[in-house]
Chain A
Amino acid sequence: MSWIPVVFIFGWLALSFIVGVAVAKRKIDASQVMEEWYVSGRSLGIIVLWFMLAANWLSAFSFLGGPGWAFSRGAPTFYIIVYCAMYPIFYYAVMPKVWKLGKRHGFVTQLDLFADRYRSSAICLLVALVSYVVIIPYIGLQMMGIGYLFKVATGGAIEFKIGALIAFGIIAAYVYTSGLRGVGWVNLLQGIMMFLAAILATWYIVATRFGGLQQMFIEIEKIKPVALTLPGMGKGMGIGMFATSVLLSAFGGAMWPHMFQAYYGAKSVKVTKLVTALMPISAILNLSVTLLGLAGIVLVSKAIKPDEILIEILREYAPVWLLGVLCAGGLAAAVSTGASLVHNLGSIAGRNLYQAFLRPQASQQEVNRVARWTVLAVTILSYLFALSSPHTLVWILLMGYGGISQFLSVAIGALFWPRATKAGALSGLLVGIAITGLFTFSPAPLNHPLGLHAGFWGLIGNFLVFYLVSKATRPDPDEILERYYQRA
């Protein structure tokens, strides 16, 4: 076992911890406690916010699972590059208004917005429930990625469960201490490391093993031409599934609650716009790791798990220091996403469950305390999930991702449609979740009918019911609507 990757990993974690704790503001006005921990006092500038959003969006799945898909399926992986570059179009339309409303009304979570617009406990509880059910397994998946990287880097000396525990112990510590400010600054570091690792590793492998991109693709074409067009290899993905997956991920996937919260942290509306306009560039990371995964089709002939392809290529064909950099990059992808997610669930618990339902008169300090303890509780719970049942995690995540996408109707109604009502939003949400679940887990022909993504069908049902029920029910009172829309 070489110690170089181990040094990279531990050095990187130590740096993350130091930065994450050091950026915490020591003296905060009592009236600013909540804004500081939840949304970094709405102070984030272009660079920190860009890297934070990019690092939030690009998870361990993008870093390890994406190349695994490229290796095992080929061209269908291009959909990840496409949706990662396309979701900012939707965000450009949505996030400046989200930020303005947040600043005007003091919102610090996505649920604050939904709760204020629809005034419905049922919507709040349902959105909170879906968020928890989806996000805890998602954090568990980040832990699994970290545990795997530790195992690889140490040649098995540090087991999966110890590696995941160390990394998430550090995350919980700095999120507890510094809130979104810590997440933002650490994600800036993580983002830089992820890009550096992915681009460097891709350049090295393509240049040294093939002598250039075109030569690499010519060799892939000789061995597996089917990998370079749709539907690709193995289970494959037709154009219909590709298109609906892009649409669902770019619009529905954009509903992740921690992304909303990150935007609330922006310094100004101008920052939200410029950051979003530059966000498609982050898909270069997906492109890099996809190229590495495709290189594996030529370079790796033995049977391995697809998710291990990146590490396998680097272990076989790159110097050990580059493997260390790549492990640190993978770790950065998992840590950055994991930190934002635990912070978000803590925020929901303090603000939208404890304060909203249990103790409306609670002070900011008390709400913050609940949020911080929830960060620790969520970390432990996710860890137990990751240890106990990885297959269940993936199953829940498959279902849950469709669930998060269904927030789309609620958000669009809240932001742009004065005629939206709480009955419409709630019924649309329930129908969307039910259809997505049915079409995700039923056997053929109900499984992804007509080759289109189950979540896409869920969204169609969701929007239809949302529209019809909203039209059929009494409009919300003017005093709510004038907080959101201009008068005619």
Chain B
Amino acid sequence: MNGFIPEMLPKTWLGRIILCYFIVCFAMVTVPGLYFANQIHPYVGGVPFLLFWCVLWSIPLTTLGLLIFYFLEEGEEGEK
């Protein structure tokens, strides 16, 4: 490749695992996740299931994933 390395995909196992995790997050709030979650019942946390599902995967689980990735990356860089 032209003497230079494309950087579109993560090079480490950690990066690949995290990438898969985020793909799952996206899939859960788009396709196919919404085909399963597009319903009112059961109510969870006082809200209809679809809203609960969208909020769960997008706000807490995305933040958690990004924070874990951040701290693992920082840890790795600290070791280097």
Seen from chain A, the residues whose Cβ lies within 8 Å of a Cβ on chain B are: 75, 78, 81-82, 84-86, 88-89, 92, 97, 212-214, 217, 221, 225, 228-230, 239-240, 242-243, 246-247, 270, 273-274, 276-278, 280-281, 283-284, 287, 412, 415-419, 475, 478, 481-482, 485-488
Contact = CB atoms under 8 A, between A and B. Distances in A.
Contacts of B4: 418, 481-482, 485-488
Nearest to A97: B7
Interface string B32-60: 00110011100101111011001101110
Given A86-B62, A229-B40, A280-B63, A419 B1 contact: yes
B3 interface: yes
Nearest to B66: A277
B30 A242 contact: yes
Contacts of B40: 221, 225, 228-229
Given A214-B46, A415-B7, A246 B62 contact: no
Contacts of A419: 1-2, 6
B35 A239 contact: yes
B5 A247 contact: no
Nearest to A226: B40
B38 A239 contact: yes
Interface string B13-46: 0000000001001100111001100111001011
Counting from the closest, the 8 A-B pairs by CB-CB distance are: A243-B30, A85-B58, A213-B46, A418-B4, A277-B66, A214-B46, A485-B4, A277-B70
Contacts of A270: 74
A290 to B, nearest CB: 8
The bracket for how many chain B residues form the interface is 35 or more
B69 A86 contact: no
B27 to A, nearest CB: 9
Contacts of A228: 40, 48, 50-51
8 contacts: A75-B51, A85-B63, A86-B62, A213-B45, A214-B47, A228-B48, A277-B66, A481-B2
B46 A82 contact: no
A486 B8 CA distance: 12
A488 B39 contact: no
B69 A213 contact: no
B5 A82 contact: no
Contacts of B50: 75, 78, 228-230
A89 B62 contact: yes
A452 to B, nearest CB: 11
A53 to B, nearest CB: 14
Contact of A418 (B1, B26, B39, B66): B1
Nearest to A225: B40
A466 to B, nearest CB: 13
Contacts of A243: 30-31, 34
A281 B34 contact: no
Contacts of A482: 4
Given A78-B54, A86-B25, 5 more contacts: A81-B59, A214-B43, A276-B66, A278-B67, A485-B6
A418 B6 contact: yes
B58 A86 contact: yes
Contacts of A89: 22, 25-26, 62, 65-66
Most buried by B among A89, A92, A278, A281: A89
A81 B58 contact: yes
Contacts of B66: 88-89, 92, 276-278, 280
Contacts of A418: 1-6
A48 B66 CA distance: 20
B58 A82 contact: yes
Contacts of A475: 2
A94 to B, nearest CB: 11
Contacts of B73: 273
Contact of B5 (A412, A415, A488): A488
Contacts of A246: 26, 29-30
Given A82-B58, A283-B59, A287-B59, A229 B1 contact: no
Contacts of B2: 418-419, 475, 481
Given A86-B62, A217-B47, A488-B1, A416 B30 contact: no
A225 B5 CA distance: 53
Given A89-B62, A246-B29, A485-B7, A229 B46 contact: no
